[in-house]
């Protein structure tokens, strides 16, 4: 086979036979090509999904061909394997060469459906194995680091391949979670109607509650764990992303709270790539209760030993281990950033915490599950939930998708979405017939709420629902130069707030819900953009909430204030620990759901929302000077509430970390004094 230039490979990929030229087979059986670079039975994740799907399709009578560059034996009964040449000398070579040669091999035969599990433009179906690369880079890199990451040869290659796939409306996209579908909509400007959500399945014969009786005692004996011990299980190969450090911290918190005699142990299953995690366990003095098992076959036996499965992953489209654990009758604790968390519906099945860094919430959730009295009900609920997601069901969904694609292979490319980066389905009927959706939204009028220079905020109603629309019409060079002269980064468009919303959602911090975002223009001084968000109904600003319970008994008021202060402190700590700076961190930008405050009790949920993010910035690590400004502004904005010393100490206690020493709080006090003096001078100037 002739050599190809790697830089040209992605733009000279062989043409895939057009689905629109194919005729749907008269019989039920289809000839299906599956393209996946690795197909080993020893690898989990997308490889396991592809093997399960291929086996299921064969059982349904379809002719399945798998195109792979897998060097090992990966035969599968009834599946025809095709070895595809590919270069292995670098990750870029693998990324580009496999789709090139796979498409050439596929083009030599006629297939009803070409299903790609790897980034291969031109396929009928593309099932995402990972979050979109653009979403990954936007979430995990900041500032110049993000710029250089996007410019790296590997990332730029992946971004170009994904852009070709997403811009080709002949390709139907498949994800295994709504989280990944939202990533495609929010980061890649993909119309959600092109994306099908098909959950992963689980093997109920391999993973079942009977594993406990079969393996628990043997594993306890093997590891020297007392019979009465409670076992936490962590399983994953990327310890940093999957949250092992946070799991160990939650274990430490649990052991510090223990009042009974039953010890708590943690079993860690997965490939260790760094000794730092063992060192962290040793430094915390937890070595006797943390057991590293390495990468193991027959992982199902560890579910048999576990009382609770914990996976505080930072980013996962859909961790299969959640389904495996539930099928084994073991409740789970995971995070909102794990797409598999979407299937957890009952407290008996487990808990989905807001953030991987909220170790206290994980410890609380674990404690609640370990104290569960009706273990039989817990195991039954877990098993019942998992049985909703069998591989047979997933195969039926894919069969229906294939036939639908054969009947209607091409979705029309939109002609009126130039400049539109995101448009929620609820707004599409209102603007679908507009020749220019961007211009139509910018022209929407409503009740003016704020107008500063070229930025305007209006409240609008569409189909009986309330929204807030922020329009930016270019800041001008004068404003840009003024900001630069003050060593400030100018806010050029609605993109800052759009990215801030995505960041807060990833951190598990409640904020505004966007329904539309668009941007046009390359001239920094004349960028036109907008951001539309749902109206927060039934919410009240914390700066005004004291009016809501003035008539309540003093004891009830003190309880409410105490719970609110704790909630604000925890949110602020999580926000700043992630490197975020609001720049307007005032109490009026915190909102909470209004309620009958006379019925409020300690421990009741307070879902705080942080809003107005148009000047928000994120740093790799938030400078101490920024934290001082933020906390100083927060306390200054609360002066009218006349916080007592006990209430200030309560905030300090819940916000503190190793960096917030006595000098930090002394500087915060000085900041408050300067803000008060500045306000006094401003009022004096206005009165004059």
Taking each helix axis from N to C terminus, what angle separates 133-140 and 153-167, rounded to the nearest 10 degrees? 130
Three-state secondary-structure class, residue 154: helix
Question: Quick one: DSSP state of residue 18?
Answer: P
Three-state secondary-structure class, residue 453: coil
Question: Given 168, 203, 584, 607, which residue is catalytic?
Answer: 584
- Which of 116, 53, 45 has its CA nearest to residue 396? 53
CA gap 653, 645 in Å, rounded:
12
Query: Order of strands across the sheet with 195-197?
Result: 80-83, 63-68, 31-35, 113-116, 125-127, 172-175, 195-197
CA gap 40, 463 in Å, rounded:
51
Question: Quick one: DSSP state of residue 287?
Answer: G
The helix or strand, by DSSP H or E, that contains position 7, with its residue range, turns out to be helix 6-9
Could you tell me which residues are beta bridge partners of residue 195? 173
Give start and end residues of each alpha helix (H) in 418-523: 428-431, 437-442, 476-485, 495-507
CA gap 191, 27 in Å, rounded:
32
Could you tell me which residues are beta bridge partners of residue 310? 333
433 annotated active-site: no
Question: Quick one: DSSP state of residue 17?
Answer: P
Q: SS3 helix, strand, coil % of the chain, rounded to 5?
A: 45, 15, 35
CA gap 320, 176 in Å, rounded:
10
Three-state secondary-structure class, residue 514: strand
The helix or strand, by DSSP H or E, that contains position 471, with its residue range, turns out to be strand 465-473
- Which of 429, 474, 430, 439 has its CA nearest to residue 455? 474
Q: How many CB atoms lie within 10 A of CB 642?
A: 8
Query: Which active-site residues does the annotation give?
Result: 584
């Amino acid at each position: 086979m002739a050599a190809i230039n790697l830089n040209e490979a992605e733009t000279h990929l062989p043409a895939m036979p057009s689905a629109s030229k194919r005729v749907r087979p008269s019989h039920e059986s289809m000839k299906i090509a599956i393209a996946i670079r690795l197909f080993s039975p020893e690898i989990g994740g997308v490889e396991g999904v592809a093997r399960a799907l291929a086996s299921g399709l064969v059982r349904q009578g379809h002719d399945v061909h798998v195109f792979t560059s897998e060097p090992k034996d990966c035969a599968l009964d009834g599946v025809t394997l095709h070895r595809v040449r590919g270069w292995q000398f670098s990750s870029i070579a693998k990324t580009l060469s496999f789709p090139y040669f796979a498409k050439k091999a596929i083009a030599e035969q006629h297939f009803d459906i070409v299903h790609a599990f790897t980034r291969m433009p031109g396929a009928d179906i593309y099932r995402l194995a990972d979050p979109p690369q653009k979403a990954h880079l936007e979430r995990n890199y900041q500032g110049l680091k993000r710029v250089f990451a996007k410019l790296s040869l590997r990332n730029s290659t992946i971004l170009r391949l994904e852009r070709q796939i997403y811009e080709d409306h002949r390709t139907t996209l498949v994800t295994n979670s709504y989280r990944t579908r939202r990533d495609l909509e929010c980061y890649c400007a993909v119309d959600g109607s092109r994306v099908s959500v098909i959950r992963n399945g689980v093997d109920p014969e391999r993973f079942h509650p009977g594993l406990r009786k079969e393996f628990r005692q043997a594993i306890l004996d093997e590891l020297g764990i007392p019979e009465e011990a409670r076992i936490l299980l962590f399983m994953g190969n990327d310890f940093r992303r999957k949250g092992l450090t946070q799991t160990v911290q939650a274990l430490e918190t649990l052991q510090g709270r223990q009042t009974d005699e039953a010890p708590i142990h943690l079993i860690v299953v997965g490939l260790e790539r760094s000794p730092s995690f063992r060192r962290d366990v040793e430094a915390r003095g937890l070595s006797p209760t943390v057991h590293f098992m390495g990468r193991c076959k027959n992982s199902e036996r560890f579910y048999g030993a576990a009382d609770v499965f914990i996976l505080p992953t930072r980013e996962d489209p859909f961790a299969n281990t959640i389904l495996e654990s539930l099928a084994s009758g073991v409740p789970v604790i995971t995070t909102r950033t794990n797409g598999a968390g979407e299937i957890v519906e009952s407290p008996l099945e487990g808990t989905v915490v807001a953030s991987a860094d909220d170790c206290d919430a994980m410890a609380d959730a674990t404690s609640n599950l370990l104290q569960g009295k009706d273990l039989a009900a817990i195991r039954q609920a877990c098993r019942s939930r998992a049985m909703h997601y069998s591989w047979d069901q997933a195969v039926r969904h894919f069969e229906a998708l294939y036939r639908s694609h054969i009947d209607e292979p091409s979705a029309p490319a939109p002609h009126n979405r130039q400049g539109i980066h995101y448009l929620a389905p609820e707004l599409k009927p209102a603007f679908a017939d507009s020749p220019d959706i961007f211009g139509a939204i910018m022209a929407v009028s409503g009740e003016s709420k704020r107008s500063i220079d070229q930025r305007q905020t209006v409240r609008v109603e569409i189909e009986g629902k309330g929204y807030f629309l922020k329009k930016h019409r270019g800041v001008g060079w004068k404003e840009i130069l003024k900001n630069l002269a003050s060593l400030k980064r100018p806010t050029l468009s609605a993109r800052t707030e759009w990215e801030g919303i995505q960041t807060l959602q990833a951190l598990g911090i409640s904020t505004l819900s966007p329904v539309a975002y668009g941007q046009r223009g390359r001239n920094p001084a004349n960028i036109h953009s907008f951001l539309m968000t749902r109206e927060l109904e039934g919410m009240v600003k914390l700066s005004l909430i004291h009016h809501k319970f003035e008539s309540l008994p003093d004891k009830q008021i003190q309880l409410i204030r105490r719970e609110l202060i704790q909630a604000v402190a925890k949110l602020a700590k999580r926000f700043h620990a992630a490197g975020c700076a609001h720049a307007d961190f005032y109490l009026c930008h915190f909102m909470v759901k209004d309620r009958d405050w006379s019925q409020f009790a300690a421990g009741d949920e307070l879902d705080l929302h942080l809003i107005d993010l148009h000047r928000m910035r994120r740093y790799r690590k938030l400078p101490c000077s920024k934290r001082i400004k933020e906390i100083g502004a927060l306390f200054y904005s609360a002066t009218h509430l006349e916080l007592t010393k006990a209430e200030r100490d309560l905030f300090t206690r819940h916000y503190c970390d190793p960096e917030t020493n006595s000098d930090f709080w002394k500087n915060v006090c000085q900041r408050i004094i300067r803000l008060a003096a500045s306000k006094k001078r401003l009022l004096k100037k206005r009165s004059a």
